[in-house]
Chain A
Amino acid sequence: MDERNWTDRPLQIGDEIRIGPVRVVHKSLGFAALLSGNLDAAVKALAPDAPMIGLNGEVGEQDFVLRIGRDRALLVSKDQIVEETGWNCDGYAFSAADDCYCLLEISGDRDDYFLAQGTSCHLGNSSPSAAIMFAGVNSLLARKRAVRCLFVDRAHLTYVSSWLRGAASPDPPPLK
């Protein structure tokens, strides 16, 4: 194809995609920060009540920490996180990352069929790390009750939303 001929456009916050019974909404992430190193100390200092969440973990309505790797996590908060970017003497690194990720909320009947098109991870299982490959790009996956929360790199948002827009509807179930 022509390298100039890109027809898709970014998905704005609040925009919605419907694929059969599945609904995908681009939601505001709030505020976020990347943490590395002593995660316990970082969470204790920055958001002591925030749970550390892995794959399919319940994010709830309050602050939470999505574990990316053994010593790396994404702190997500409704409020601005007051901390100076850099090294903290408690042994962790802090970087403001408010805009590094975008949040896509995916809900609807048979959303597991829908998501199974993009990831090979077992959507019924959990894992200490929320990191997955979705549609070929690094992402984080958690849930808010029945809603799947997919965190994608901001620069990949347009691609992922195009990918989702063209995914096969899970209605009827593809494996019936």
Chain B
Amino acid sequence: MTAWRHSRLGSEIDRTTRIGFTFDGRSCFGYAGDTIASALMGAGVSTMGRSFKYHRPRSVWGMGSEEPNAIVDVIHEGVTTPNIRATSCELKSGMEVRSVNTSPDAERDRLRVLDYLHRFLPAGFYYKTFMALDWMRYEPRIRRMAGLGSLDPNHHGESASPQFNHSCDLLVIGGGPAGLAAARAAASSGRQVWLCDEAPVPGGSLRWRGGKIAGRDWTEFVKSCCDIVERAGGRVLTSTTVWGAFDHGLFAAWRRLEDGPDQQLRIRANETVLAAGSLERLGWFANNDLPGVMSAEAALYYLNCHGVVAGRDIVVATGSDASYPVAAALQQAGARVMIADMRQETPAPPEGVNLARGQFVTAAKGKRSVESAQIGDTMVKADAILVASGRTPSVHLHCQAGGKLDWDEEIDCLVPRSGTSQMRTIGAANGTFGLKASLYEGHFACGGTSEIELPDDVLDWSWEKHRPDPDLTGRQWIDLQSDVTLNDIGLAAREGFTSVEHLKRYTTLGMATDQGRTSNFGGLAAMAAQTGKTIPETGTTNYRPPFVPVPFNVIAGRRRGELFNPPKRLDLEAGHRSNNAQFREYGGWLRPAVYGAGREADLAAEEARAARNTVGVFDASPLGKLEVIGPKAAELLDFVSYRKISTLKPGRARYSFILTESGIVFDDGVVLRLGEDHFVVSASSSHVAGVRFTLEDARQDRFGGRDVFIHDVTSGWTTLTVTGPKAQLLCKQAGLGPPDIPHLGCAEVSYNGHAMRIARISFTGDISYEISVPARHGASLHETVSAALDYCGGRWIGLEAVMTLRTEKGFILIGKDTDGLTMPHDLGWGAPRFKRKDDFLGKRSLFTSAAEDKNRRQLIGLTVPDENPVPVGSHLVPLNGERRSLGFVTSSCFSPALNRPIALALLEGGFSKPGELVGCYDDGVVIEARVCDACAFDASGERLHG
């Protein structure tokens, strides 16, 4: 391939602005308005990359997002962007462009030797290879050889890619002739139209095909269309690729800006029209992947838009009149052109162009690029073979939206079946080829009533059918980006992978980042021929977003870093920070882990010791506060809770579980009864939303949505938990509430003129009070409690200390000490399932044979002789006999109160194994441990009751 820059042509480049860049270290230049591909062609670069599998030299095939070959890494202004399509990326000054999958560069790639070994790299290579011998030894090497571009590990992407939600009356996808006509017709009738096109300027094929419409230059037509759209309040968005069609009429678009970060647009339209055009198919002949073989339409685009001539000796291999203007333009630009037309009846060739009727190229010859073309028995000197063997409508978005396809025998295409997706398809995307027909269809599709402007001359866009020919000598490429040949399709068929879905996965046909735009038709045709079926019988694979590779930072938008999964924040965060709290995320909330500076484990131990000896206070605001209100509140809670709640008296609280329908423990917590028809469910911090949904499910399905309601007021209250032997003293000192609340009692009181709720509930085994006030009074409460803490000699404690205290008591944390199989009787709460006669959520699942298995994993405690706690997650294994997992350690820490490590674990049949020895296996080491009761501290509960 010896492409060259014409001295005059190129409507979209500015020859007064030269742009310097490098390709594989070599200095090149292009012009403002060039793409990387056009600049490389203009600079005479022939090999732009190497093929994925065989490392064959490759150059440009197409002109846009369908490009399977010219994929490059680009470093610009210190940012590396891998795997960019050179055909879609605008050239910028100082760009460092690198070929991908090459070493050291595209021209001298060392792995080109693989092409000689192609017989040993057949379809299904990985499937076959990774079953043989000791595959783990050679897999890393093969893995290193695979892939395309290289990521820069230091690159974190643009900090903020904005995302915008928008709606419009009509969304037109594609700014070619059909899309423009449709948008204009709709806007003329007053509709608000958004017209999106992935090119930097609208016009579609008019940009390179040119011509006159109603006697005026095409540029006037495009301008008038855009003006009408914008005057009607619509938008014309260029460099904007609609990459996904989703449910409920949602479309995602990637917008590239000159002077700002890329944007993602989420567009909802009342109506959508798809005018995405069509793509040229590959031509099938031997070595049809060599640099110099390219789409005829693309060659015309590069000539007229960028002033790049595809070669000096050009063969146009075609079966359509539509290629004759291409040949004429190239001849007029100075190239020697020959047309090989597979039809016997053809128009007269353009002046100066040779024509071979009834002939098609059967092979391209050349080592690094095309040097000659074989046409029948004749070898013709050629450095470029331009192929026009049919077009495939771009139906991806129609299919993403659930649309179906029909086979149109006459035009040899799969076309959208009307009414099967949320959009209408027009123009070439609908199989309506040719400028006149596209304008006509676009105009009337969107309510055009006035006279339509039509072009002066009309071209016949029908073509002779062309298929891969298994009788030809040499390798024919079906999928250029995945390096799939016709032989691979044949092999897949022989090995039984005839289903189109199997074919795709076995050969990787259509699985590359070009989404098989240029390859799918050839693959289907080849498999249809192999199996003796028709193309519609063979079928198509599914189309999924994204339509083009979209940078992750565009999809992620601003949900990254601190905004990726932001925790909820405590109202008293500033107060805790002033006490030198170190924060961590617990159950979706940012909470103090420990207070002060130093090693976390040491600080937690000190805090736990203080809480056992005097008094500790921790912020328990995230505990759920789900108010269940109404005459049927007790009935609802009876149904949802494992323990009966309706027997609870006002002013009292009860610990209970909420189960799933399968009887698994979903959450635990305390229910407070504040009045006959008023309860507060104190769900676990991380389960508030889930518990609320469980309650709502039952409320709406079982109770008709009336007479009981649920209010989540968790965020509105600040809760401080005071715990320890001096808890009552602290409350008295701070003037908080009545001193004589019994264990599991609660009271609503007034404090400084505002509401306060005190509940005597313990998560530590010591006397504890949960004191809740409206959040706006939290700071005042914090101040009061801090002063009282100083008086009592206590301290603020973080969640790490709380975890230690509750582990000492064997109190569970849902999701940590339970898993997806744990039922309440595995935790020692077996009674309610036998006592309760009424129905409750999950009840039936508690009486299955699996639920009553004696060897279920049950919660136990462990003592270890070592000074160090056993790692959480260690598997419990038998000390003798075959090693297998009997369960695992769920919580483990050093107990300051007991001065030894303690642990909780789920162990098979654990309740029947007190005193037995088990092994704790972690990272190849087995530590001996003895099974004991889960409660390691104050088993009689003396401290709890004071």
Contact = CB atoms under 8 A, between A and B. Distances in A.
Interface in A117-176: 117-122, 136, 153-159, 162-163, 166-168, 174-175
B715 A34 contact: no
A106 B162 CA distance: 18
A136 to B, nearest CB: 7
A155 B562 contact: no
A175 B166 contact: yes
B166 A97 contact: no
A3 B250 CA distance: 34
Contacts of B266: 120
Interface stretch (B181-189, B213-221, B673-681): B673-681
Interface in A67-104: 71-72, 85-87, 93-101
Given A37-B709, A86-B675, A175-B164, 17 more contacts: A1-B561, A1-B562, A85-B678, A87-B630, A96-B716, A99-B716, A99-B717, A116-B164, A118-B165, A120-B266, A121-B165, A154-B775, A155-B569, A159-B563, A159-B566, A159-B567, A174-B263
Given A116-B165, A120-B266, A36 B711 contact: yes
Contact of A95 (B237, B250, B564, B713): B713
Contacts of A101: 715
26 contacts: A3-B585, A8-B562, A10-B569, A34-B711, A86-B629, A86-B674, A86-B675, A86-B677, A87-B675, A93-B630, A94-B629, A97-B713, A100-B715, A100-B716, A116-B164, A116-B166, A117-B558, A120-B165, A120-B250, A120-B266, A154-B715, A155-B569, A155-B714, A159-B567, A167-B558, A168-B160
A171 to B, nearest CB: 12
Nearest to B755: A96
A175 B706 CA distance: 47
A85 B627 contact: yes
B573 A10 contact: yes
A72 B235 CA distance: 39
A37 B630 contact: yes
Of the listed residues B569, B582, B593, B675, the one surrounded by the most CB atoms of chain A closer than 10 A to its CB is B569
Interface of B is mostly: strand
Interface residues of B, number: 57
Given A99-B716, A100-B713, A4 B582 contact: yes
Contact of B559 (A4, A93, A120, A136): A136
Contact of A6 (B166, B562, B629, B706): B562
B677 to A, nearest CB: 4
Contact of B715 (A95, A155, A159): A155
A166 B568 CA distance: 18
Nearest to B568: A155
B631 interface: yes
A98 to B, nearest CB: 6
Interface string B660-689: 000000000000001101100000000000
Of the listed residues A99, A120, A153, the one surrounded by the most CB atoms of chain B closer than 10 A to its CB is A99
A27 B489 CA distance: 67
Contacts of A159: 563, 566-569
Contact of B562 (A96, A119, A120, A162): A162
B163 A96 contact: no
B133 to A, nearest CB: 43
A163 B715 contact: no
A6 B268 CA distance: 35
B506 interface: no
Contacts of B593: 4
B711 A6 contact: no
B268 A120 contact: yes
Contact of B237 (A7, A136, A175): A175
Interface string A54-78: 0000000000000000011000000
Contact of B774 (A72, A99, A119, A163): A99
B705 interface: yes
Nearest to B589: A155
A167 B674 CA distance: 44
B900 interface: no
Given A86-B678, A120-B268, A158 B569 contact: yes
Interface in B235-264: 235, 237, 250, 263
Contacts of B716: 96-100, 154
A97 B569 CA distance: 18
B262 to A, nearest CB: 12
B677 A87 contact: yes
B164 A174 contact: yes
A37 to B, nearest CB: 6
Interface in A1-59: 1, 3-4, 6-10, 34, 36-37
B763 interface: no
Contacts of B627: 85, 93, 95
B683 to A, nearest CB: 14
A118 B266 CA distance: 11
Interface of B: 160, 162-167, 235, 237, 250, 263, 266, 268, 558-559, 561-564, 566-571, 573-574, 582-585, 589-590, 593, 627, 629-631, 633, 674-675, 677-678, 705-706, 709-711, 713-717, 755, 774-776
A101 B496 CA distance: 62
A154 B774 CA distance: 12
A7 B47 CA distance: 49
A156 B568 contact: yes
B165 A154 contact: no
Closest 7 CB pairs of A and B: A155-B568, A36-B709, A99-B775, A100-B716, A168-B162, A93-B629, A159-B566
Contacts of A3: 584-585
Contacts of A118: 165
A93 B162 contact: no
A97 B675 CA distance: 18
A40 to B, nearest CB: 14
Contacts of B160: 166, 168
A174 B162 contact: yes
Nearest to A154: B715
A80 to B, nearest CB: 10
Contacts of A36: 629, 709-711
Given A37-B706, A85-B678, A175-B166, A166 B583 contact: no
B565 to A, nearest CB: 10
A95 B716 CA distance: 11
A159 B71 CA distance: 39
Contacts of B755: 96
A7 to B, nearest CB: 7
Given A86-B674, A86-B677, A93-B709, A157 B629 contact: no
Contacts of B590: 6
B270 to A, nearest CB: 11
Contacts of A71: 705, 709
Contacts of A8: 562
Contacts of B561: 1
A20 to B, nearest CB: 12
Of the listed residues A113, A158, A167, the one surrounded by the most CB atoms of chain B closer than 10 A to its CB is A158
Contacts of B633: 87
A127 B130 CA distance: 58
Contacts of A87: 629-631, 633, 675, 677-678
A166 B261 CA distance: 14
Nearest to A88: B629
Given A34-B711, A36-B711, A37-B630, A122 B235 contact: no
Contacts of A155: 568-570, 589, 714-715
Contacts of A99: 571, 715-717, 774-776
B776 A98 contact: yes
Of the listed residues B582, B583, B715, the one surrounded by the most CB atoms of chain A closer than 10 A to its CB is B715
A96 B774 contact: yes
Contacts of B559: 136
Contacts of B705: 71
Nearest to B593: A4
A100 B626 CA distance: 12
B675 A117 contact: no
Contacts of B566: 156, 158-159, 162
